[in-house]
Every structure is written in structure tokens, then in C-alpha cells.
Amino acid sequence: MEPLRVMVPILASGIVFGLAALAFARPFGDGPASRKACSVALFLAYLTGHWWIEGTPEVVPERALDWLPYLALLGLGLCFVEPKKLRVAGFVFAAGLVPWLVLGHKIGRWDVGEAILWLGLCSAFLVSALLAWEKLATRLGTRWWGLVSMTFAASLAYILVVSGDLKLGQLAGALAAGSGALVTVNWLWPRIEGTAAFVPVFAILAFGLLATGHVDFFGYVPRAVTALVWFAPFSALALPKTTKPGIALAVVALVLAVAIVIAHSAAPSLDPYDEYR
């Protein structure tokens, strides 16, 4: 696939985020109220990339990949849930539902004990990630959160590509473009904020992409890489609250760099004659 064809939907996602954030900032309002506008913008940015890469979303999903737009919609709904206690309850509900949707066709191959174990682990993985990303985003502020979320999604895109699935890598790239566009939008119009508002869309999509990488491509993403991806936000939260945001970004990037190295070393060979050499 030509580099231009790979990059166009990713760039389009970034542009859609910027336009949507500006368009929805007016009805939602400036300052803290604009965070909801950024949530809608990230949803539309990802949907644009998904439509461009994969086509119109299936009305009745048949594959894990088909569920991704609906996961983004679920995340968008959680962005509007208040107060905080109800929002956390929504996180728990989503953490129980999302793994079941993504892993659905695999559950039938497991016995009851194995299904409970894997669904329980995935639910704990997702709810802890949602809470960690929300806390980290609040601590970092809009621009630094935009940089951290873009770094995370771009690293996830590279991991998925080297693990053998270019399409999932492109979709993660669309998520990275939308997240990164927040930095530009906030720099040009400081009254438009992002912070923790679009965390549900971001985190649920990131989980869905990573889980789909396991389900739809036979699990070429190593478990060590999955663990490091999950650990990334916690590595920054482990730092003192007074730590400069740039250091938090560097720590997250370092953890993700280790994950990329492991993914690269474990990547499947694309040469069909490699096993005969």
C-alpha cells in the first residue's frame, strides 16, 4: 500500500477533529464546557478514519473490528455522564461490556472457567486504564495530555503494524491524529480545553484496537507488549504530583519504546520463504 494512501485517512481524522472542536465549542461553550466539544470531535475524527479505511460500519457487527465504531459511541456517551460517582459506575459497566463484545466469538471456544478468567482480566484491564488515563489527563492539562495521548496512540499504531495488521495500525493512527490535533486547537484557541473529557472515547478505542489485534490477527501482539501498553499511564502517575509534564511524557514514551522494541523483535516475518532459509 502506498504511503499516501496510508496517511490520507489519518490526516483527515486530524482535520475533522479540529473543525469539529471549533464547530461544537460554540453550542457547548468555552473553557470547561468545551471539553464535551472535544469528546464529540474525537468521536467524529475516529469515525472519519474508520469509514475511510474500513468502509461504512456494519449495522450488525460480525467481527471484533466491526465493533470499534460502536465502542467509540459508547465512550462518547460516557463523556457526558455526571457526577463523578455515576461516571465511575459507567466505567465499570463499559469494562464489563466491551471485552464481551470484542471477544464474543472466542468465548464459545473456552470452558466456563477460562471465559470467566479472561473476561475478568480484560474488564479489570479496561476499568483500571480508564481511571488511570482520566487521572493523568486531569493532572497534565490540555496540551500535555494531547501530546501524551498522541504518543500513546501513535506507539500503539506502530505496534499493531509490526505485529502484522496494517489496517488496525491505520485505525490507531486515526486515533493518534485526533488526539494530537487537540494540541494545535488548544494552542490556536486556548479557551478550547480537552483534559480528561475525551478519555472514555480514547481509552475504550485503544483497548478495542489492542484486543482486536489479538482476536483478528491470531494474537501476534506479545503479552509482554500488552502489559507495557497497559502500564504506560501508571508509570506517569507513579511520579510525584509536582513532576513537570514533560518528564511524565518522557516516562510514558520510554515505557512505550520498550514495548515497541519487544513487538519488533517478536514480529512475524512477511517473507513467505523465510521458514525455508
pLDDT band at 272; cut points 50, 70, 90? very low
Q: Sort residue 267 into left (φ over 0), alpha (ψ -120 to 50) or beta.
A: beta
Residue 101, pLDDT above cutoff 50: yes
User: What confidence category does residue 275 fall into, taking pLDDT thresholds of 50, 70 and 90?
Assistant: very low
Highest mean pLDDT pick, 10-19, 27-36, 182-191: 10-19
Residue 8 domain flag: yes
Please report the pLDDT score of residue 218 as a whole number: 46
Give long-range contacts, CB 8 A cutoff, 24+ apart: 85-93.
Answer: 88/131, 90/200, 91/127, 91/130, 91/131, 91/200, 92/127
**Residue 108 is part of which domain span?**
3-221
The answer to the question of residue 213 being in a domain is yes
Asked whether the predicted pLDDT for residue 276 surpasses 60, the reply is no
User: Is a pLDDT exceeding 90 seen at residue 248?
Assistant: yes
pLDDT for 258 equals 97
The pTM of the full predicted model, rounded to 2 decimals, is 0.90
Mean pLDDT of the chain: 86
pLDDT in tens, 173-212: 999 999 989 888 888 887 777 666 789 999 999 999 998 8
Does a structural domain hold residue 184?
A: yes
CA nearest neighbour of 156 among 49, 62, 51, 228: 228
**Residue 164 falls inside a structural domain:** yes
Question: Would you place residue 31 in the very low, low, confident or very high pLDDT band (cuts 50, 70, 90)?
Answer: low
In a domain, 210, yes or no: yes
pLDDT at 268: 62
Other C-beta atoms within 10 Å of 188: how many? 10
Summarize pLDDT for 119-139 with one digit per residue, the tens: 899 999 999 999 999 999 989
Residue 258 forms part of a structural domain: no
The total of structural domains in the chain comes to 1
The pLDDT value given to residue 90? 94
Asked whether residue 123 is assigned to any structural domain, the reply reads yes
Higher pLDDT, 98 or 1: 98
Classify the C-alpha dihedral 187-188-191-194 as positive or negative.
Answer: negative
Q: Is residue 241 part of a domain?
A: no
